[in-house]
Amino acid sequence: MVLEIGRVCIKIAGRDAGRHCAVVDILDSNYVLIDGATRRRKCSILHLEPTAQKVELKKGASHEEVKAAFAGIQLEVLATKPKHAAPMPKKIRKSEAKSAQAAPEKKGAEELIKKKDSVKKEAAKKNEIDAEIVSEEKSESSREAVQGSQKEKPAAKKKSAGKE
């Protein structure tokens, strides 16, 4: 049989017509398994035209082995990239988009409020401290004043008593 394992052929029918391929396995008197620049699949021998070239392949060789064999005779092989499903585009409603915009604003407001509170607390603390200082001063001055007034009061009383 002309179509032995490893025989390089050209596919003459179908989508892959005109491309090189190698016979990888003989399935039937009418069908063979091909691989190479074509898709790896079962093919009718009527749709293959053998060439004079032959490649060393084991029966049922994998795509990688065919690729290596073809590289030796400078022929290209069908390369398929692994397909990764793209993430589904998520539809964002206008209302959701607006709320998403408002949320960072709210957060900013909360932070501002917190800052204000802390500032207030600091101010209150400062005021308390100041008040204490002031009160201390006042108490000192008041003691003096009281002492002074005590001195004055008896004088006043005397005066008032004198007047009366």
Partner 1 sequence: MPEPKNRTHSVREIKVKTPGGKVVLQFRRRKPKLAHCSSCRAKLPGIPSVVGRMSSLSRSQRRPERPFAGKLCSACARKVFMQKARSIGASS
CA–CA separation, 44 and 147 (whole Å): 126
Does residue 145 belong to the site contacting partner 1 (CB under 8 A)?
no
Mark 118-147 as b/e (b = at least 16 C-beta within 10 Å): eeeeeeeeeeeeeeeeeeeeeeeeeeeeee
Chosen residue from 10, 22, 55, 77 binding partner 1 by CB under 8 A: 10
Query: For residues 49 and 9, is the Cβ–Cβ distance under 8 A?
Result: yes
Does residue 14 belong to the site contacting partner 1 (CB under 8 A)?
yes
How near is the Cβ of 11 to partner 1 at its closest, in Å?
8
- The contact pattern for partner 1, residues 39-58, with x = CB under 8 A and - = no contact, is ----------xxxxx-----
How near is the Cβ of 19 to partner 1 at its closest, in Å?
9
Contact footprint for partner 1 (CB under 8 A): 9-15, 17-18, 49-53
